[in-house]
């Protein structure tokens, strides 16, 4: 039971592998994938209250990991649903595409449960390698060749980040003589006066910074978002970020009062991510690129919660990343539906969307309002809690800089809404969304609103999960 | 410390690993071809392998964990090289070049 979600995913991957061996037109493959995704989601719900440890204590199943597994499975299911037509991928490679998506999700699920360096490393690589392949799988028979460039850039930056993380892990192992996280936490707590310990923790953090796209490891974001097909980008922009936040929290809980240097570095990274992301997003024409830069800025906000080193701070970060993933998926749902043959969507392509597809325009509008941090949606509550939490810990300067960033961000989000609502269609045809897409978008809108109106329950729940993990 | 005992001291291996790591990162930043960058990335991974083996030999209480870790790093480095080279081939098919200066469609 404790390992049920992972086993289901593994089984689903095997089924997809079998399908990929068959040389047929694969018409129903996306339906098979959606059913398998729903099964995985169901299995995470079934094993939600499980607890225990597996594989010689290198794999811990607790409330913290189960919450994240459920979220990861849910986000994957939404990605499968909104990319049901899979316009950007050649029909011949669709089974393989889904296979890699499931394997990547498997890696992420294993990552949130891993409490041993080797397990973390292997799970992280499993999730990364599958995504490296998904990026260049975009249909190259048309006019696109940028997906190849995006793929190799993604891989090279990823390998560099992994190299940093491994080098940090080797110092951690050398300093503590163990690869078990609980043992490392205990031994490292008396070692923070040593530069080697600080460098080790920072280098291990680098690997997760890369996944979450925080400042020094963010270079891949705009290129990969633009180069990958819309569905792949929706996956990259949502699912790995959940797991990366979980792992950042796990690693940051290692730091105790003597590790002020690390907290200072995290502060600098958070502020630089926000400024870099928001200022670059101002001038983008491609909406995926814009969302990529805004993702860098939001990752800075998540870091703001984590670096307070309080349980409430961690809980706020979890709440914020959940909200971010839902808002982002709402935006990508619109992008995937508006894009006719899987081409990239420019911001101008959204003109007059409220006439062409009212529900999609509403989804985009609420998603962007929420991302900009306007009440009563989840983005506002999340930002408010994070800033209040940081202020309580005395990071006044940080809060001021973050508030300035919120103001900058409103400009580019609202200018997209202006184009979608206040401009003419200019002869662009109407966009037809399937009933399933409409159901998904209404569900996402409900989640965004409910999480924004009633945040306390979610935050208390996240706090209890973090307490269970510590 | 004489030259003859250098092979039996932890510092030697740590310095070698640090130099390899530095060379790898330098290569990743300055190399102009994708193949060169892949080779440099292998050096980064090898550096941490050497660290693991050195700590395993000189300091660790259980002298197996580091070796196992190194084996896993080798396997994953191989997988990474396979994926990297396959993407390089796909790049070459589309761009007729593996030079980073020709890969400028995306302005990251």
Q: Which tokens in the block code for residue A206?
A: 């680098």
B103: nearest CA in chain A? A149
CB contact B78 to A (< 8 Å): no
> Between residues A93 and B108, which one has the greater pLDDT?
A93
Q: What is the pLDDT of residues A224-252, one digit of tens each?
A: 998 888 889 999 999 999 999 998 888 88
Among A373, A381, A364, A380, smallest CA distance to A328 is for A364
d(CA A95, CA A23): 10
pLDDT band, very low/low/confident/very high, at A56 (cuts 50, 70, 90): confident
Q: What is the pLDDT of residues A112-124, one digit of tens each?
A: 988 889 999 999 9
CB B41 within 8 A of CB A160: yes
* Sequence-distant (≥ 6) Cβ neighbours of residue B60 within 8 angstroms: A173, A174, A177, B66
Whether the ω angle into residue A166 lies within 30 degrees of 0, i.e. cis, is no
Rounded to two decimals, the ipTM of the complex is 0.92
DSSP class of A22:
S
> For position B78, what pLDDT does the model report?
92
Percent of chain A, pLDDT > 70?
98
> For position A456, what pLDDT does the model report?
86
* Sequence-distant (≥ 6) Cβ neighbours of residue A143 within 8 angstroms: none
**For A63-83, what is the mean pLDDT?**
90
Q: Looking at the partner chain, which of B52, B94, B108 has a beta carbon nearest the beta carbon of A148?
A: B94
pLDDT band, very low/low/confident/very high, at A146 (cuts 50, 70, 90): confident
Q: Looking at the partner chain, which of B44, B47, B91 has a beta carbon nearest the beta carbon of A148?
A: B91
Question: For residue A220, which residues of chain B lie inside 8 Å, CB to CB?
Answer: 108
Weakest-pLDDT range from A80-84, A99-103, A144-148: A144-148
Q: What is the pLDDT of residues A370-402, one digit of tens each?
A: 988 888 888 888 888 888 888 888 888 888 988
CATH assignment of B10-99, among 3.10.20.600, 3.40.1390.10, 1.10.287.3510, 3.40.50.10490 = 1.10.287.3510
The yes-or-no verdict on residue A416 having pLDDT over 60 is yes
Task: Give the closest-approach CA distance of A218 to chain B in angstroms.
Answer: 10
> For position B1, what pLDDT does the model report?
59
Contact B52 A163 (CB under 8 A): no
pLDDT band, very low/low/confident/very high, at A26 (cuts 50, 70, 90): low
CB contact B36 to A (< 8 Å): no
Exposed / middle / buried, residue A3 (Cβ in 10 Å: 0-12, 13-18, 19+): middle
Weakest-pLDDT range from A244-258, B35-49, B60-74: A244-258
CB A193 within 8 A of CB A258: yes
* Sequence-distant (≥ 6) Cβ neighbours of residue A336 within 8 angstroms: A82, A83, A85, A87, A230, A231, A234
pLDDT band, very low/low/confident/very high, at B108 (cuts 50, 70, 90): low
* Sequence-distant (≥ 6) Cβ neighbours of residue A119 within 8 angstroms: A55, A58, A59, A110
SS (H, E, C) A336-397: HHHCCCCCCCEHHHHCCHHHHCHHHHHHHHHHHHHHHCCCCCHHHHHHHHHHHHHHHCCCHH
Task: Give the closest-approach CA distance of B46 to chain A in angstroms.
Answer: 9
CA distances from A296 to A220, A293, A303 (A): 11, 5, 11
Return mean pLDDT, chain B: 86
pLDDT band, very low/low/confident/very high, at A32 (cuts 50, 70, 90): confident
Percent of chain B, pLDDT > 90?
44
Question: For residue B72, which residues of chain A lie inside 8 Å, CB to CB?
Answer: 118, 121-122
CB B91 within 8 A of CB B33: no
Contact A179 B65 (CB under 8 A): yes
The yes-or-no verdict on residue A198 having pLDDT over 80 is yes
d(CA B44, CA B22): 8
The yes-or-no verdict on residue A175 having pLDDT over 90 is no
Residue A41, CB-side half-sphere exposure with 13 Å CA sphere: 17
> For position A25, what pLDDT does the model report?
63
**For A45-61, what is the mean pLDDT?**
84
Q: What are phi and psi of A286, to 5 degrees?
A: -90, 130
Q: Which tokens in the block code for residue A324?
A: 């971010």
Weakest-pLDDT range from A17-31, A200-214, A316-330: A17-31
Return mean pLDDT, chain A: 86
Task: Give the closest-approach CA distance of B2 to chain A in angstroms.
Answer: 24
Question: For residue B107, which residues of chain A lie inside 8 Å, CB to CB?
Answer: 223
Q: What is the pLDDT of residues B13-38, one digit of tens each?
A: 889 999 999 999 999 888 888 899 99
Domain ranges of chain B: 10-99
Strand A52-54 and strand A59-61: the pairing is antiparallel
Mapped onto helix, strand or coil, the DSSP state of residue A23 is: coil
Contact B48 A163 (CB under 8 A): yes
Dihedral sign, Cα of residue A260, residue A261, residue A262, residue A266: positive
Weakest-pLDDT range from A357-361, A406-410, A418-422, B96-100: B96-100
> For position A142, what pLDDT does the model report?
67
> For position A24, what pLDDT does the model report?
65
CB A76 within 8 A of CB A133: no
Instruction: Decide: pTM greater than 0.80.
Output: yes
Percent of chain A, pLDDT > 90?
21
């Amino acid at each position: 039971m404790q390992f049920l979600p992972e086993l289901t995913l593994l089984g689903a991957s095997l089924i997809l592998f079998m399908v990929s061996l068959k040389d047929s037109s694969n018409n129903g493959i996306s339906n098979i994938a959606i059913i398998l995704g729903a099964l995985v989601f169901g299995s995470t719900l079934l094993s939600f209250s499980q607890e225990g440890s597996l594989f010689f204590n290198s794999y811990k199943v607790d409330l913290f990991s189960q919450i994240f597994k459920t979220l990861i499975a849910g986000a994957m299911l939404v990605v499968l649903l909104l990319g049901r037509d899979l316009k950007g991928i050649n029909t011949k490679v669709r089974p393989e595409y889904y296979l890699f998506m499931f394997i990547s999700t498997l890696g992420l699920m294993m990552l949130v449960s891993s409490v041993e360096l080797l397990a973390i490393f292997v799970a992280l690589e499993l999730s990364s390698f599958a995504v490296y392949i998904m990026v260049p799988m975009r249909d190259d028979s048309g006019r696109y060749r940028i997906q190849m460039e995006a793929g190799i850039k993604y891989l090279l930056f990823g390998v560099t980040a992994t190299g940093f993380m491994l080098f940090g892990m080797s110092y951690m192992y050398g300093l503590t003589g163990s690869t078990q996280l609980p043992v490392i936490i205990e031994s490292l707590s008396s070692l923070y006066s040593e530069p080697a310990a600080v460098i080790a923790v920072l280098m291990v953090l680098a690997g997760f910074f890369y996944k979450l796209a925080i400042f020094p490891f963010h270079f891949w974001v705009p290129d990969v978002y633009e180069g990958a097909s819309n569905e792949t980008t929706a996956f990259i922009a949502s699912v790995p970020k959940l797991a990366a936040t979980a792992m950042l929290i796990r690693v940051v809980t290692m730091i105790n009062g003597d590790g002020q240097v690390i907290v200072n570095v995290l502060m600098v990274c958070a502020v630089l991510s926000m400024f870099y992301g928001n200022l670059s997003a101002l001038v983008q024409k491609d909406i995926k690129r814009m969302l990529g830069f805004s993702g860098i800025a939001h990752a800075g906000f998540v870091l703001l919660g984590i670096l307070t080193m309080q349980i409430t701070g961690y809980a706020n970060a979890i709440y914020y990343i959940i909200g971010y993933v839902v808002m982002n998926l709402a935006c990508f749902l619109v992008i995937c539906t508006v894009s006719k043959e899987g081409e990239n969507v420019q911001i101008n392509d959204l003109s007059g969307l409220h006439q062409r597809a009212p529900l999609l325009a509403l989804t985009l509008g609420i998603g962007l309002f929420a991302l900009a941090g306007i009440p009563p949606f989840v983005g506002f509550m999340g930002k408010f809690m994070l800033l209040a939490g940081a202020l309580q810990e005395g990071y006044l300067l940080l809060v001021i800089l973050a508030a300035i960033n919120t103001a900058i961000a409103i400009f580019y989000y609202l200018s997209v809404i202006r184009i979608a609502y206040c401009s003419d269609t200019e002869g662009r045809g109407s966009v037809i969304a399937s009933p399933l897409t409409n159901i998904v978008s209404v569900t996402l809108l409900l989640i965004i609103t409910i999480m924004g109106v009633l945040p306390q329950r979610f935050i208390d729940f996240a706090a209890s999960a973090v307490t269970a993990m510590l | 410390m004489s030259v003859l005992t250098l092979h039996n001291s932890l510092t030697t291996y740590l310095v070698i690993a640090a130099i390899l790591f530095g060379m790898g990162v330098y290569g990743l930043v300055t190399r102009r071809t994708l193949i060169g960058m892949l080779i440099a990335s292998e050096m980064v991974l090898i550096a941490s392998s050497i660290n693991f083996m050195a700590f395993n030999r000189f300091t660790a209480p259980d002298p197996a964990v580091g070796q196992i870790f190194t084996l896993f790093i080798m396997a994953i480095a191989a997988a990474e090289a396979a994926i990297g080279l396959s993407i390089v081939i796909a790049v070459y098919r589309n761009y007729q070049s593996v030079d980073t200066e020709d890969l400028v469609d995306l302005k990251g």
